[in-house]
Amino acid sequence: MRGVSLEVRDARKKLGSVPALDGLSTSFESGFLHGVIGPDGAGKTTLLRHLIGLLHLDSGAIRFLAEGREIPFDELRPFLGYMPQRQSLYADLTVSEHLDFFRDLHRVPAPAYREKRARLLHMTRLEAFQDRRAGHLSGGMYKKLGLMCALLSSPEVLFLDEPTNGVDPISRREFWELLHDLSSETLVVMTTAYMDEAERCGRVHLLDRGRFLASGEPRQLLEREGVPDFDALFRRLSKFGDTILISPSVK
């Protein structure tokens, strides 16, 4: 299954009396690194949990598409990868033991596993740390291990919830390099609260209080509003409640 894309149409969800998703509509095209960017409480994690099927909308629709047809979620499920925001690894297991565990979990055949393992360890520069326990890894190394575990199944769609949160600047840069390499062959949707990371994305979806304030190519969004960065763009749009949608086809 190649070229998976994703559409969200008028997605609404209340958590108690709070509208966590308030009529969201956007699309996530294959071949781009998509960043859902907003402050804490904007609805980023809630959106991801709906996209991976952990939560269900009150109204609206989420559709996965490939090869000109809609893909039932159960058919797509084996091709999804997810890296949650909170720590999800086992502190007492080593890097190597984690890879073996997720190999068994995803039933990766031995020949394919050997190749994937070597490639992922090289990509993340963790070859020399295979015997180190996850609880003793730095923040950046821990996030890279989580990414490796999510990639062992060779997902066509990868969801990452604030993967660079709490990571040092050098590891953040290395992590972004990994994400750009992945996005050429995988639909990658990640969330972040760091506004400075918006311009590193192929497509930006600026989120606040359950609503998209802007969606489109980063540079086009900034030029249209005449602002220098996404901090300024967020302040302007969150104040006036405007919505900017720029199609990827617009030059």
**Dist. CA 190–CA 84, nearest whole Å:** 10
Name the nearest CA neighbour of 161 among 51, 79, 72.
Answer: 51
Q: Are 37 and 160 in contact (CB under 8 A)?
A: no
Q: Where are the domains of the chain?
A: 5-87+156-245
d(CA 52, CA 78): 11
- pLDDT tens column, 32-56: 899 999 999 999 999 999 999 999 9
Q: What pTM value is reported for the model? A: 0.86
The domain 5-87+156-245: what is its CATH number? 3.40.50.300
Identify the band that residue 247 occupies on the pLDDT scale cut at 50, 70 and 90: very low
Give the E-state strand segments of the chain in sequence order.
5-15, 18-28, 33-37, 59-66, 69-71, 80-83, 157-161, 187-192, 203-208, 211-216, 244-245
Segment 182-194, tens digit of pLDDT: 888 889 999 999 9
How far apart, in whole angstroms, are the C-alpha atoms of residue 75 and residue 102? 21
- pLDDT, one tens digit per residue, over 2-31 is 789 999 999 999 998 889 999 999 999 988
Q: Which residue has the tokens 């590193």?
A: 200
Please tell me what DSSP assigns to residue 72: P
Which of 13-22, 29-38, 122-131, 159-168 bottoms out in mean pLDDT, i.e. has the lowest?
A: 159-168
